[in-house]
Homo-oligomer: A and B are copies of this chain.
């Protein structure tokens, strides 16, 4: 179970080409192996392995005849999906290159060529390309990054700045697709078929123009992927990073050719666990996924197998999500959490809960929202996470009410929790 964990930071990634992956793996392992965090991760991995083992058992018990029946049904479904495949939309996924780091470099150009990371000793959110040469990358704890690269410079994150530059990029995106969809600060999906037709330009040229304009307006580079679906566009934007782009022609064959050897892990939504689960059944690429489609449908839930089938044939995410005009993104939750030095002092913990409740209440008030459910998240010193949730009799944004509810949940737990390192 430990190999997956120590492998976490050695996966191929833009800017990591010359890295001595074995060395990185060893450093990460040595810096982690005696920590509580490592122990918890190992336990979680054991749980995943157990789940996979159960699936293997189930797979072994499926009669070949049953699998054949499923295969026929799946093939039918695939045929129908293919028949209604829509290749007329042109999606672009734009992804800023090491966004947070690049923003800081813009104002402090001397940071370009020294290894630099945004974040601190606990956690890094982005690293510049100079740092990546040492194996430093996002979501790596800073103290490990520092071990890999002693001269690494840390820069504090500055979200106000990132938002400013994000808004500049969005000004550009708007020209190409007024309804563009910004997932986060540093990326967006645009549907440019109308734009291409209006300007008589190829999608590749539009992507070039868009990236040029982003660079002019922000002095930042970005990468782009062009494809008939969002999912594939996202895969493509990652393919030629940084400052590059990739286009898949909108034909069934071009899509199939790309997918045949594409690692499933490259697909948005396929994370560490799903990747490992599929790997246990010999499925590493989307081509494997297509070949093993009957097994996939037999083993996974309908939601998952629908998703995986769509991945396998490159269908899904063609249509722009239907939204009434004037629609604004509807937030579904709002939270605050904080990590601190582990403590079992109930008074201190209660004070933290009250403070977090204040922040949440302020957030709700700011957005003119009310909540009916309050969730308390606790992470123990050993990284064990527990959540407790309760429904309020009526919607509120009152800090006192929220705090009281959370404290009630907290007291209900008193017995079990040793010391806590996080509350949310």
Given A80-B84, A83-B84, A84-B84, verify A326-B65 contact (CB < 8 Å). Answer: yes
Asked if residues A70 and B322 are in contact (CB atoms below 8 Å), the reply is: yes
Bound form: Cα–Cα A323–B70 in Å: 8
Contact with B along A77-121 (1 / 0, CB 8 A): 000100110000000000000000000000000000000000000
Interface residues on A, range: 10 to 19
Q: Are A324 and B84 in contact (CB under 8 A)?
A: no
Whether A319 sits at the interface, judged by CB under 8 Å, is yes
Any B CB within 8 A of the CB of A183: no
Query: What's the number of copies of this chain in the assembled complex?
Result: 2
A325: interface (CB < 8 Å): yes
Cα separation A69 to B324 with both chains bound (whole Å): 5
A66 located at the interface, meaning its Cβ lies under 8 Å from any Cβ of chain B in the complex: yes
Query: CB < 8 Å: which of B66, B83, B324 contacts A63?
Result: B324
Q: What's the least CB distance linking A305 to chain B, in Å? A: 13
Which residues of B lie under 8 Å from residue A319 when comparing CB positions?
73, 76
From the candidates B65, B325, B326, name the one contacting A325 in the complex (CB within 8 A).
Answer: B65
Q: How far is the CA of A50 from the CA of B96 in the complex (A)?
A: 52
Contacts of A327 in B (CB 8 A): 66
Question: Which of B68, B70, B72, B322 lies in contact with A72, CB distance below 8 A?
Answer: B322
Inter-chain contact A69/B322, CB cutoff 8 Å: yes
Kindly identify, within residues 51 to 81 of chain A, every residue whose CB is under 8 Å from any CB belonging to chain B: 63, 65-66, 68-70, 72-73, 76, 80
Q: Which residues of B contact A80 (CB under 8 A)?
A: 84
B interface footprint on A316-333 (CB within 8 Å = 1, 0 otherwise) = 000100111111000000
Which residues of chain B have C-beta atoms less than 8 A from A72's C-beta?
Answer: 322
Interface residues of A (CB under 8 A from B): 63, 65-66, 68-70, 72-73, 76, 80, 83-84, 319, 322-327
Instruction: List 10 extra interface pairs beyond A63-B324, A66-B325, A69-B323, CB under 8 A.
Output: A65-B326, A68-B324, A69-B322, A70-B322, A70-B324, A73-B319, A73-B322, A80-B84, A83-B84, A84-B84
22 CB-based A-B contacts, threshold 8 Å: A63-B324, A65-B324, A65-B325, A65-B326, A66-B324, A66-B325, A66-B327, A68-B324, A69-B322, A69-B323, A69-B324, A69-B325, A70-B322, A70-B324, A72-B322, A73-B319, A73-B322, A76-B319, A80-B84, A83-B83, A83-B84, A84-B84
